[in-house]
Amino acid sequence: MFLLVIKRIFLGLITLFIVSLITFVGVEILPGDACTTYLEREAYGAALEACYERLGLNIPSYERYISWALGVFQGDFGYSLSGEMKINDVLGPRVKNSMVLASASIFIGIPIALLLGIITALWRDKLPDIIISTITIFSMTIPEFISATLLILIVAIWLEWLPGIVIVPTGASISELLPNIILPVIAISMIMTAHMARMVRSSVIQVMASDYVQMAILKGVPYWKMVFKHVLPNALLPAINVVALTIAWLLGGVVVTEVVFNYPGLGRLVIESISNRDLPVVQALAIILASIYVTINLIADLMTLILNPRLKSLQIKK
C-alpha cells in the first residue's frame, strides 16, 4: 500500500518532468526565440544582444534547461519579458482568483452531478431520466463561450439580475469577487457537471445489473438500503478517476470563460502572455496547469486506493 502510494507520486513527478521538457523543447524548436518573438521588428543588433544577455539565451540550451528547471523546482519561474516583473508576483493573485472560480465550480458541480447521475440511473428510461439526460446532452455539447455569452445576454443584459462583466482589480478579495463570479461559475460547471452526471449514470447502471445487486434484492434488502450499501459505494469508486479527468479538462474551459467575463485569473493571463509573446510566462503557466492536473489525478488515485477494499487487502496479504 505504502509502496503503491510512493509509486503513484513518483509517476506524477515523472509526468511533470516530461511536461517541463516538452514545453521547453517546444519553445526551443519552434521558429524564433523569446527575444525575437518579443522584440519582433527590432530584433536585430544591439537590442537583440542585450535581450539575449538579459535572458541568458546565449548559453547552451541544456544548461539553460537545467538552471530553469532547478529554479522551477524551488518555486522560482524567473522574470517575465514584458513587465520585467518576477513571474511569481504576476502569477500569485491570478492563481488565487482562478482557484476561487474553479473550486466554486467543482464544489457546486460535483454534488449536482452525483445527484443527477444517480437519479437518472435509478429511474432509467423513465421520465426523470429522459428529461435530465436530454438536458445534459445539450449542456455537454455547447462550448463555454457560447453558454457564457448567452448567460450574459439573458441574465445580465435582458434581465439585469447580475453583473455581466467582472470589473474588479486583480488583487480583489474573495468577498469583492462574489457577486461577479456567479455567472462564470455557472458557465464553467455546466459542461463538467453534465459529463460527470453521464458517467455516474452509466456506472450506477452497470452496478445495478450486477449479480450482487440481484442477490441483495433476493435477500430481501429494502430498495434504498440496497442503493446506499450495495450499489453506490461500488458504482462511485470507479467514477472517482473519471471525475478527476473531467476536472482537469475543465481547466481549458476556465481559460475561455475568464476571457468572456473579463475575469482576472490565469486564463486571461494565458491569452495576454501569448498575445505578448511572453514565453517565460507561458512556460510557467504550462507547468502550473500541468501540476494542477497531476495533483488532481493523484488525489483521485489515492482516494481510490484508500476506499477500495481490494487494494486495501494487499497490505494484509503481503
Q: Which is nearer to other proteins, 19 or 182 (CB)?
A: 19
As a whole number of angstroms, the distance between CA 293 and CA 284 comes to 14
Question: Closest separation between CB of residue 59 and other proteins, Å?
Answer: 22
Question: Closest separation between CB of residue 176 and other proteins, Å?
Answer: 24
Q: How many C-beta atoms surround the C-beta of residue 142 within 10 A?
A: 16
Q: Which is nearer to other proteins, 103 or 174 (CB)?
A: 103
Question: Closest separation between CB of residue 171 and other proteins, Å?
Answer: 24
Cell numbers at residue 270, please? Answer: 494565458
Question: Closest separation between CB of residue 23 and other proteins, Å?
Answer: 7
Q: Which is nearer to other proteins, 176 or 274 (CB)?
A: 274
Question: Closest separation between CB of residue 75 and other proteins, Å?
Answer: 19
Burial of residue 41 (number of CB atoms within 10 Å: 0-12, 13-18, 19+): exposed
Question: Closest separation between CB of residue 178 and other proteins, Å?
Answer: 24
Q: Which is nearer to other proteins, 85 or 165 (CB)?
A: 165
Q: Which of 289, 54, 67 is nearest to 76 (CA)?
A: 67
Q: Which is nearer to other proteins, 73 or 138 (CB)?
A: 138
As a whole number of angstroms, the distance between CA 130 and CA 132 comes to 6
CB 294 within 8 A of CB 12: yes
With residues binned 3-state (H G I as helix, E B as strand, rest as coil), the percentages for the chain, rounded to 5, are 80, 0, 20
Q: Which is nearer to other proteins, 96 or 195 (CB)?
A: 195
Residue 20 corresponds to which amino acid?
Answer: S
Q: Which of 250, 291, 287, 257 is nearest to 271 (CA)?
A: 257
